[in-house]
Structure 1
Amino acid sequence: MKTFEVPARENVSAANQQLFDNLTKKLGKVPNLYATFALSENALGSYLAFSNAKSSLKAKEKEAVNLVVSQVNECDYCLSAHTVIAKLNGFTDEQVLSIRRGEAPFDAKLDALVKLAKSLTENRGKADAALVDNFFAAGYTNENLVDAILVIGDKTITNLLYGVTQIPVDFSPAPSLATATA
C-alpha cells in the first residue's frame, strides 16, 4: 500500500499555509490528521468549516459521539485525540472508557446519545427504533438528532482519512479497551 507522509507547511498551498498558521495559534501545532487534509487544495478549509460549525449539541455531547464513533471505526488517531479533548471537557478516564464501550451510565441523557450514535455507526445509518425513541425520551429534539448525525459524519470522515493514510498519531495513545477492562 502507498505510504503517506504528513505534509509540512512549506509543501502546501498558500491558503492551506494560512490555515496551518491559524491552527498553530489556536492549538499550538497542526495535528497530523489536519495536515493530511491539506494534501487537497480545499479539503482542510472545508473540513474545518464543517467541523467547527454551530451545533445544538454541547461540547461534551459532541466529544461523546466522537469517542464512540472512533471506537466503532477502530480509529487509533481519533481515539487518541478525542481522549485528550474529552478530558479537557471534563470527562474522567473511566467515563471516556465507558463512552468508548458504547454507554454512559453516569448520565442517562448522554447514555441515550452514545447508544444511538454507536448503533447508527455500526449499522451504517440504519436507526434502531427503540434507541431513537430513547433518545427523544431522554429530552433530545429533532434538531439534536440532525446535529448528532452531522457529528457522526464528521468523525467518520476523519476515521476514513486516518484508516487509509495511517499517518503517525501525534497524541498520547488512548488505552485499549481490552487492557483497560482487564
Structure 2
Amino acid sequence: SSTRVGKAGINAPADRLPKHGTKSISSRAIPTRSSRADSIMSVNDIAMQSQPLLSIKDSSKEDRERFVVRRYKFEEPRLEQIQDLEGGIAKYFREDLSRRLLSTDFKKHVDGIEMLHKALPSIAKDVIEVMDILLRWFVLRFCESNTTCLSKVLEFLPELVEALKSEGYFLTEAEA
C-alpha cells in the first residue's frame, strides 16, 4: 500500500471543504463562462463605470430647499361638480353619514369612512347603486392634503374592491 504525497487533484474531497477562515461558496454563485460579446466592454462603458454614480460636487441641498416648492396639484373641482356631489350624498346617504362626509372637518370624514367600512359587508349591494357618488367623493379626498383622511380612504378601497368582486360587479365606464 503506497501513500501518495503531493497536491490533491481538482476533484479531491479535500478541495470541496471550506478552509479555516474562508466562506463556503455555493456553486450557483460561481460565475459561468459568458460569450465573448458579453465580456468585451467598450471604452465608453469602462470610462463611465469609473465615474461616481451620483455627481454631488456642485450640489447644494440647502440652496434647493430655499427655493419655493411647487406642489403638484390636480385641477380644483368646479363649484357645480361639488354641488352635484353634495346633492347626491344628501339624497342617497343616511343623514348622519352625509353630515360626516360633507363636513369641512377631516375628522368627520374619517368617521364617515369608518362607518362605511364597518357596514360594508352588509351593504355591498347598496354601495353598488351609489358607487359613482362614492368614487367622486374619494377623488375629492385625493385632491386634499390631509394624510389621515387619505390613508383611511386607501385602507377602505381594497376592501371595497373585494366586496364588489364578491358581488360579481364590474365598474362602469363612468366609474372607472
Give the TM-score normalised by the residue count of structure 2.
Answer: 0.30
Greater length-normalized contact order (CA 8 Å, ≥ 6 residues apart): 1
Between Structure 1 and Structure 2, whose CA radius of gyration is higher?
2
Give the TM-score normalised by the residue count of structure 1.
Answer: 0.29
Q: Which has the higher helix share?
A: 1
